[in-house]
Structure formats: structure tokens, C-alpha cells
Structure 1
């Protein structure tokens, strides 16, 4: 009997030494390109949201080619668990969309980058019909490309991110729509191309930018959503967003710009 009690005591002590949850690695796609403040914001937001979970997650960044659709396909395999992206019905079929708009819907507000020779003319545009006289460039696999095309706006799909800036600078296209979240930092990074932000105009279409999680990791998606909800309730989500983006948004003076509304038939707002 004494021997049995000793055995049970030993087993109990061993159980106490085992953590409630084993350490779990979260493999996050990191595009092989220069990183911008928006990337660091998303990294910090992801880390903060997962830290709220009672499961100890460790984040590991996986270098990937900057090809949005290809990265989302990778979520279906064994290499990547999390990526962030603008949403579309096709993308939500590939992975679990954690439906918290990470940029508060501002991903669908687009100012125009253009060569100085074209910027003045573009600044006078007041309607979608007038904008149809100009050509845009966008990523070949970006939802934005389909959105512009659905509004009958001429758009050139391009695979390479840097090429889009070069084509705009060379006036081989007329403008490059960029989100108000990213444009100021991108313009600064491409100063040598002498592009400028077109005055007075901003395109506006409903959209959202989400974390996408592999369908193989539904518990991770649930913990991430829970963490984001807690950050919102505490005011930490707003504080982080303000720290990263308030200065640039103020620079763009969005309230005083002409908002040209575009339809987005590829977006259904979450309830």
C-alpha cells in the first residue's frame, strides 16, 4: 500500500512539472521586400493579440516571395500558418479570415501616385467617368485590380511591386492608387522616382484587411480573434493604430479631398 501511494505521489509530481500547454510555433509569412511601418504595425498587433491567449505561442517569420495569392495558397500546406491581406470571396475560401478590419476600412481609401506632369490634370478629376480617361497600374493578383476593372477603369495588371512605381514614373501608366495607410511611407522610400501624391482626390471603396489563418489551425484563428477583441475593448488596438498612422493620415487631409466612390462587388461586410 505504501508502495502504491509512493507511485501515485511520483506520478502527481511529474504531472505538475508538465506545462498545461506545449509551446506552439506560429509560422507567419514575411514578404521578401523592404518592410514599412504598416508591416511592423501588423507584426506588433499579431504578437499582442496572441499574447492574450493562455496558450504559449511563439512566432516564427517565414520568408516568402511577395506574391499575395501564392502566399494564401501556402496557408493550405505545412509551411505558413498566418498571413495578412485585403479580403475577397476567393481569399476567404482559401483560409480562415479573422474578421477584424486591421486598418479600420482605410485600406479602401486610395490616393493617387503620379508623375508631376500628370498630377495636376488628375487633381481636377471629379467623377468615375472622368477617371476612365486615365490608366492605372495594380498588382496582377490584387483584389483592387478587379475592383477597378468592375468600375470600367483602365488598369494594367503587373506582377512585380517595384515595377508599378517605375511604370508610373516613366508615364507608361497615368497613376498608381495606393492606400492612405501606406502611401506616405512608400513615397518616401521611392523619392528617387520623383512621384507625387495627386492633390484633392481620393478613391473610396468598401473593403477590409484581415489576418488569414490556415484551415489546419482553427484553434489559432479563434485565439487570434479573441485576442483582437480584448485589445479593442481595452483601447489598445486604437492606441497602436494611432501611434503608427495618425501623423501620415493628418498629412493627407482626407476630409478636404474629393471622395470618388467606387463599387466593390467582391466585398460583403461582416455583420
Structure 2
């Protein structure tokens, strides 16, 4: 009888869950209006994995600040494409990535905003060499800067604290073209148009390179291992059952290809990303556009 009782205890121990969540976990996440879709995807992933969590928002900041806060654990989750900063933190074991293409690959298709009087500025751009003649602008610390400089294209950097700030820099003549993701350029343009006018979307070209916004988890944050496991499991679930796409389309254009019609594609290489980097579970999420 004693042996039977012991055996039952052993069996129950193996059947018991490895972790028991006593109360909801509070997670400090990357804020910003344009990232609400990413936070909603994380909420759905955590729910699918059975993890109760509440979000506290870390104020908008340049990437260098985000990386410092990830390293310290003050910021638990950030949504940025890989660059020199994330590479360094990942090699040190300070962050871990879930390589899910949050913007379904569309962040790597860039449409330029230009001033109204320069509507045909890019009309004769046929390749990367032609882009070298254009003053390209980006926000200070934006990871895309490395892509353009890797192609030999000079970039003018400008500070920003809101969606309209980069466009204001364009309007002031700080640079002549502002490339933004095909699924985000209208958001920046609309934010600026609430305050002023005189900016339009170029109709001639789309700049293309591998560029994926991932979910980065700080290994120094509280409950980081539990959080990483839950997000990894949950994203696998919502990517497979269609919930990922449903949430994405509530926030983003369901027919992004229409923005590319009639535009020439200028292909660049990224020093930090390739299509093969995407977790195989998530590759079907990428929206493929004609090359």
C-alpha cells in the first residue's frame, strides 16, 4: 500500500504544471500609436498561451534609449527591427527575439513622402545609384539608416518625438524625401496634415529591402522566461488559427498591394535581415509582392 501511495505521488508530481501563475504579470511595453497593433497581437498571444498580463507603457524614445532600458529590464517588451543595437544585446544574452513578422514583411516596402512642389523629384530614379542624388531623411536612431548607408546612400537624421515630427523636418527642407513603410506612411501623413499641409506621397517608386519588426523580450525583466515562453507559444497559436491576420487587418490595410501599383521597385540589401531569418512557423504571414 505504501509503495502504491508513493507511486501515486510521483505520478501526480509529473502531471502537475511546471509553473503556476499566482497573479497577472505586469509587463512594461514599447509605446507609440503606430505600435498599438503589435501590443494587441501580444495580448492575443498571451491569452492564447494562458498567461494573464497587464501592460504598462514605456514612453516613446529613440532606439538607443530603448536598448538601454531593455538591458536593464525596465522595458520588458519592445517592437523594433534588428540592427546593430539588437545584435549586440542578443549576443550578450540580454534580450531574446520572437522572429514573427509583425508587419507581415510590409515594413520593408517604403514609400517616400515629399513636398508638394517636389512631387516629381523621384520621377527619374531607376536604381540605388540614382537614390544617391536624393537627400533621404530618417529619424535619429532609426535602424533603416544602416540599410541606406550600406548602399552608399547618404542619410540626413532628424529628431522626433511624435508621428508628425519627421514630416515637419521634411516640410522645413531638412531633407527632400522621407521613406516610410507602405503600411505606415499614411499614418505619418495624416498626423502631419492635422497641423499643416504641403506634403504628399511620391507616386513613382517604392524602395524595397528585407526589414521585419520583431518582438524583443528583456531577459532582465521580471518573469522574463515565463513571458518569453508564453509569447512564443501564443504567437504560434494565433499565427496558425488565423487570429494574427484578423487582428492585423483591424489595424492595417488589408490590401496593401494597391499602394505599390504603378511604382518602380528599387531593391536594396539589409545588413541585418534576410527572409530566412523568419521563424518557419510564421513565414506564411508574409505578404508577398511582385519582384
TM-score by length of 1: 0.83
* 2-structure distance, mates of 1:145, 1:89: 11
TM superposition shift of 1:88: 2.1
Q: Which residue among 42, 58, 66 is the counterpart of 1:63?
A: 58
Q: Give the equivalent residue in structure 2 for 1:4.
A: none
Q: Give the equivalent residue in structure 1 for 2:175.
A: 173
TM-score by length of 2: 0.78
Report runs of 4+ in structure 1 exceeding 4 Å deviation.
none
Q: Give the equivalent residue in structure 1 for 2:226.
A: 219
Q: Which residue among 261, 266, 274 is the counterpart of 1:260?
A: 266
Q: Give the equivalent residue in structure 2 for 1:43.
A: 39
Tell me the secondary structure at the aligned position of residue 223 of structure 1: helix
Q: Which residue among 210, 233, 248 is the counterpart of 1:206?
A: 210
1:156 maps onto 2:156 in alignment = yes
Larger radius of gyration: 1
Tell me the secondary structure at the aligned position of residue 28 of structure 1: strand
Q: Give the equivalent residue in structure 1 for 2:112.
A: 112
* 2-structure distance, mates of 1:250, 1:178: 15
Q: Give the equivalent residue in structure 2 for 1:184.
A: 186
TM superposition shift of 1:59: 1.9
Tell me the secondary structure at the aligned position of residue 107 of structure 1: helix
Provide closer, same or farther for how the CA distance between residues 68 and 29 of structure 1 changes in structure 2, counting only shifts above 3 A.
Answer: farther
* 2-structure distance, mates of 1:223, 1:78: 18
CA RMSD of aligned residues (A): 2.1
Does the 8 Å contact 1:166/1:193 carry over to 2? no
Mapping of residues 86-165 of structure 1, within 5 Å: 86-94=81-89, 95-161=95-161, 162-165=164-167
Larger CA deviation: 161-170 vs 108-117: 161-170
1:54 maps onto 2:50 in alignment = yes
* 1-structure distance, mates of 2:254, 2:199: 20
* 2-structure distance, mates of 1:170, 1:89: 30
* 2-structure distance, mates of 1:130, 1:90: 29
Q: Deviations over 1:136-163 (max 9, x none)?
A: 1112212101111111112112232544
TM superposition shift of 1:251: 5.2
Q: Deviations over 1:204-246 (max 9, x none)?
A: 0011101110113133112101111110110111122223222
Does the 8 Å contact 1:64/1:71 carry over to 2? no
* 1-structure distance, mates of 2:123, 2:29: 37
* Long gaps (5+) in structure 1: 1-18
Provide closer, same or farther for how the CA distance between residues 226 and 256 of structure 1 changes in structure 2, counting only shifts above 3 A.
Answer: farther
Tell me the secondary structure at the aligned position of residue 76 of structure 1: helix
